[in-house]
């Protein structure tokens, strides 16, 4: 009996702690359930605010509307969205709900984007803020007070996407220069008439056509990894373009593409990531890129790897100056990049970054020999090596930026979009010096003292002397201002493109002839300097020094006296090179400027061309809860 009672007393001693444990466990479970229900309620409320803001942004933006909305239209859109997403009556089911309209601004300090409330006539965004009571907890006695509210806010905007380009790769057709350039790039013998080139320039390519021609999917074009791993062959791409465009463009364009595909011998793979920026998620049948410029970019990319290393391409350019051997070389450091369709502030396009190397060997030097004959009274026999002059022009990309697009709103610009652009003008570095070897070797400019020519003197019975006229080092000058400048005119001329009722609105920018009184597309930003004005300055800065490089006999004793010919020799060299470098038939006008123009590059200038605008889907700008200002 004693043992039984003791056991019972022992059991009674565990009952209280066990009951406390059960209560604690139940309380913990209740807290977990309350936290879960609170999280679910907050997430649901945020989703309802997000969807309501996205739906009403379509009304506020007026991107797809032919009428000017009223505030009641926005409220009705929010109510309809809430009804679709589980709130039957916001006045009953919610504690409070507000709808605000205005414009989106970015805080300079925090870089957060938020709504700045404003008039409906200028609004492009909407903010929806919802509040509802906290769900009744499972264990009410744990509640820390009544009247607590859950708050969710969402700011959404519907804007437009756009793309642009800089320069015009095939704008110049004089004297078959385009044929010469493409022949060098394609490593074939290209012979296409001006009409064929104009057809290529007039054909717009869609994203879907481009992807099929590259044997890619549309999604691959927006994937940097896919672009980096795919390296198609140029001739295959051009041939595939002809197939994909069949029936969409004229037979003239098809024939030109087929001719190009058959004439190229360049089988170097194309690094697509060096040409195409990720294009983003856009409609596949939206006009995407100019066909002629894409071919030029692809041709250049076959000569440039992803690191920018490329062998110079010799260009068959003739210069009408007697006694001068001229060799010109093109080195594409960065192929032209095609602008993706993107939002303002995130979209840009660049021309090619190129280096043009011109190597001159001046063989006819009678003016120098005549000057030396006068100085030395004809008592000395001398010979003069040809002058070797090198010019390097390294042109950085001219870049255009898409700053702002207004949706095609009713009552504004008659329902068409508007776009503002800016540009960074091309900056070029022009270097003048000498080189070793032959003009046809594409040798680099010498960085150490090197002879531009050598004079050999011989006097009967006295011996010989050899004097090198050295260039101490190349001289260079920068051209252009690399600051970003807004272009003065807003692009307002667009034509709507019909690509099907299920696709977003698409507008093609209209080009206005440059001679028109107001030419908003294209626009050119100039730095105020041109290459043709720099070579004369560089020639004056070129430091030439005379250096005895070898002598014998009695002349070795008097070689120092021969330095008296220094001034005459250097003056004669400068007088000879001056007209070549800066005259009407000078190097810049005859060689450099046309080549730069073919590549869409004007040194010190950036020509920006607006291409396409399409209406974007609404997107969330912020989910920050607005804070009342004190």
User: With bands split at pLDDT 50, 70 and 90, how would you rate the model's confidence at 155?
Assistant: very high
Looking at the structure, tell me whether residues 102 and 174 fall in a common domain: no
User: Which residue, chain included where needed, has tokens 């071919």?
Assistant: 295
Looking at the structure, tell me whether residues 470 and 585 fall in a common domain: yes
CA distances from 165 to 210, 333, 422, 489, 610 (A): 17, 18, 12, 16, 7
- What's the number of domains the chain is made of? 2
Q: What is the mean pLDDT of residues 403-424?
A: 82
The verdict on residue 622 lying in a domain is no
User: With bands split at pLDDT 50, 70 and 90, how would you rate the model's confidence at 630?
Assistant: very low
Whole-model pTM? 0.76
Looking at the structure, tell me whether residues 250 and 379 fall in a common domain: yes
The verdict on residue 621 lying in a domain is no
Looking at the structure, tell me whether residues 435 and 291 fall in a common domain: yes
Q: What is the mean pLDDT of residues 244-268?
A: 89
Most confident among 107-116, 176-185, 517-526, 612-621 (mean pLDDT): 612-621
In the predicted structure, residue 31 carries a pLDDT above the cut 50? yes
Of 321-335, 350-364, 417-431, 611-625, where does mean pLDDT reach its minimum? 321-335
Looking at the structure, tell me whether residues 150 and 224 fall in a common domain: no
Looking at the structure, tell me whether residues 175 and 324 fall in a common domain: yes
Higher-pLDDT residue of 588 and 134 is 134
Q: Which element (helix H / strand E) includes 84?
A: helix 71-84
Looking at the structure, tell me whether residues 134 and 180 fall in a common domain: no
In the predicted structure, residue 100 carries a pLDDT above the cut 90? yes
Whether residue 53 contacts residue 92, with contact meaning beta carbons closer than 8 Å, is answered with no
Instruction: Output the pLDDT for position 531.
Output: 66
Looking at the structure, tell me whether residues 152 and 166 fall in a common domain: no
The verdict on residue 258 lying in a domain is yes
The verdict on residue 629 lying in a domain is no
Q: What is the mean pLDDT of residues 18-30?
A: 73
The residue from 90, 124, 156 where one domain ends is 156
Q: What is the mean pLDDT of residues 12-18?
A: 66
Instruction: Output the pLDDT for position 584.
Output: 38
In the predicted structure, residue 437 carries a pLDDT above the cut 50? yes
**Beta-bridge mates of residue 433:** 390
Instruction: Output the pLDDT for position 412.
Output: 66
Instruction: Output the pLDDT for position 114.
Output: 83
Looking at the structure, tell me whether residues 327 and 356 fall in a common domain: yes
Q: What is the mean pLDDT of residues 437-454?
A: 90
Of 9-18, 114-123, 147-156, 345-354, where does mean pLDDT reach its minimum? 9-18
In the predicted structure, residue 236 carries a pLDDT above the cut 90? yes
**pLDDT digit string, tens, across residues 374-396:** 666 556 677 788 889 998 988 88
User: With bands split at pLDDT 50, 70 and 90, how would you rate the model's confidence at 585?
Assistant: very low
Q: What is the CA radius of gyration of the chain?
A: 37
Looking at the structure, tell me whether residues 174 and 31 fall in a common domain: no
The residue from 156, 191, 223 where one domain ends is 156
Phi, psi of 509 (to 5 degrees): -70, 140
Residue percentage of the chain with pLDDT more than 70: 78
CA 628/CA 630 separation, integer angstroms: 6
The verdict on residue 630 lying in a domain is no
Looking at the structure, tell me whether residues 111 and 233 fall in a common domain: no
Q: What is the mean pLDDT of residues 74-90?
A: 93
The residue from 156, 174, 201 where one domain ends is 156
Instruction: Output the pLDDT for position 22.
Output: 74
The verdict on residue 620 lying in a domain is no
Summary mean pLDDT of the chain: 80
User: Is the four-CA dihedral 192, 193, 195, 201 of positive or negative sign?
Assistant: positive
The verdict on residue 540 lying in a domain is yes
DSSP state of 45: H
Q: Is the peptide bond before 63 cis (omega within 30 degrees of 0)?
A: no
Instruction: Output the pLDDT for position 406.
Output: 82
Of 77-81, 423-427, 513-517, where does mean pLDDT reach its minimum? 513-517
Instruction: Output the pLDDT for position 563.
Output: 56
In the predicted structure, residue 559 carries a pLDDT above the cut 60? no
CA 318/CA 175 separation, integer angstroms: 11
**pLDDT digit string, tens, across residues 567-578:** 777 777 887 787
Q: Give residue 123's domain range.
A: 2-156
CA 512/CA 518 separation, integer angstroms: 8
Whether residue 270 contacts residue 234, with contact meaning beta carbons closer than 8 Å, is answered with yes
Of 26-40, 451-465, 583-597, where does mean pLDDT reach its minimum? 583-597
Looking at the structure, tell me whether residues 230 and 309 fall in a common domain: yes
Pairs from 145-152 (Cβ < 8 Å, separation ≥ 24)? 149/95, 149/96, 150/38, 150/41, 150/42, 150/45, 151/45, 151/625, 152/42, 152/45, 152/46, 152/48, 152/49, 152/623, 152/625
Q: What is the mean pLDDT of residues 248-261?
A: 90
CA 117/CA 111 separation, integer angstroms: 18
**How many other C-beta atoms lie within 10 A of the C-beta of residue 41?**
16
The verdict on residue 66 lying in a domain is yes
């Amino acid at each position: 009996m004693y043992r039984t009672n003791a056991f019972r007393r022992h059991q009674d001693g565990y009952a209280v702690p066990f009951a406390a444990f059960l209560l604690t466990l139940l309380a913990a479970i209740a807290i977990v359930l309350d936290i879960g229900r609170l999280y679910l309620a907050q997430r649901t409320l945020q989703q309802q605010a997000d969807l309501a803001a996205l739906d009403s942004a379509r009304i506020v933006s007026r991107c797809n509307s032919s009428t000017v909305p009223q505030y009641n239209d926005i409220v009705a859109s929010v109510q309809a969205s809430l009804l679709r997403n589980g709130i039957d009556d916001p006045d009953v089911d919610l504690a409070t709900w507000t709808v605000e309209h205005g414009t989106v601004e970015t805080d300079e300090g925090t870089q957060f984007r938020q709504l700045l409330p404003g008039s409906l006539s200028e609004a492009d965004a909407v903010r929806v803020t919802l509040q509802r009571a906290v769900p009744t907890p499972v264990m009410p006695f744990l509640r820390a007070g009544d009247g607590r509210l859950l708050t969710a806010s969402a700011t959404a905007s519907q804007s437009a996407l756009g793309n642009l380009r800089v320069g015009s790769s095939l704008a110049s057709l004089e004297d078959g220069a385009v044929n010469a350039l493409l022949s060098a790039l394609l490593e074939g013998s290209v012979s296409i008439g001006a009409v064929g080139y104009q057809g290529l320039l007039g054909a717009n390519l869609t994203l879907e056509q481009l992807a099929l021609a590259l044997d890619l999917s549309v999604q691959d074009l927006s994937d940097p990894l896919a672009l980096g791993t795919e390296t198609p062959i140029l001739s295959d791409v051009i041939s595939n373009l002809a197939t994909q465009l069949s029936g969409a463009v004229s037979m003239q364009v098809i024939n030109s593409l087929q001719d190009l595909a058959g004439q190229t011998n360049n089988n170097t793979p194309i690094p697509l990531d060096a040409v195409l920026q990720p294009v983003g998620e856009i409609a596949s049948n939206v006009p995407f890129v100019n066909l002629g410029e894409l071919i030029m970019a692809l041709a250049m990319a076959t000569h440039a790897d992803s690191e920018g290393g490329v062998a110079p391409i010799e260009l068959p350019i003739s210069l009408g100056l007697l006694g001068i051997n001229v060799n010109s070389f093109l080195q594409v450091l960065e192929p032209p990049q095609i602008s993706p369709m993107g939002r303002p502030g995130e979209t840009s396009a660049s021309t090619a970054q190129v280096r043009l190397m011109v190597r001159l060997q001046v063989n006819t030097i009678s003016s120098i020999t005549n000057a030396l004959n006068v100085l030395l009274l004809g008592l000395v026999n001398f010979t003069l090596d040809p002058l070797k002059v090198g010019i390097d022009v390294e042109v950085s990309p001219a870049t255009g930026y898409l700053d702002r697009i207004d949706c095609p709103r009713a009552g504004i610009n008659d329902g068409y979009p508007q776009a503002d652009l800016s540009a960074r003008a091309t900056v070029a570095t022009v270097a003048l010096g000498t080189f070793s070897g032959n003009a046809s070797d594409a040798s680099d400019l010498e960085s150490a003292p090197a002879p531009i020519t050598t004079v050999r003197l011989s006097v009967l019975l006295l011996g010989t002397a050899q004097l090198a006229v050295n260039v101490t080092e190349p001289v260079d000058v920068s051209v252009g201002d690399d600051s970003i400048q807004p272009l003065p005119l807003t692009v307002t001329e667009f034509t709507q493109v019909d690509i099907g009722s299920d696709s977003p609105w698409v507008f093609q920018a209209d080009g206005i002839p440059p001679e028109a009184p107001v030419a908003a597309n294209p626009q050119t930003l100039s730095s105020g300097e041109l290459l043709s004005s720099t070579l004369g300055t560089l020639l004056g800065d070129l430091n030439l020094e005379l250096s005895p490089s070898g002598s014998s006999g009695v002349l070795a004793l008097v070689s120092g006296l021969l330095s008296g010919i220094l001034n005459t020799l250097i003056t004669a060299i400068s007088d000879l090179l001056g007209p070549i470098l800066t005259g009407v038939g000078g190097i810049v006008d005859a060689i450099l400027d046309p080549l730069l123009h073919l590549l869409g590059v004007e040194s010190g200038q950036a020509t920006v061309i607006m291409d396409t605008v399409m209406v974007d889907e609404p997107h969330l700008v912020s989910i920050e809860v607005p804070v009342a200002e004190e």
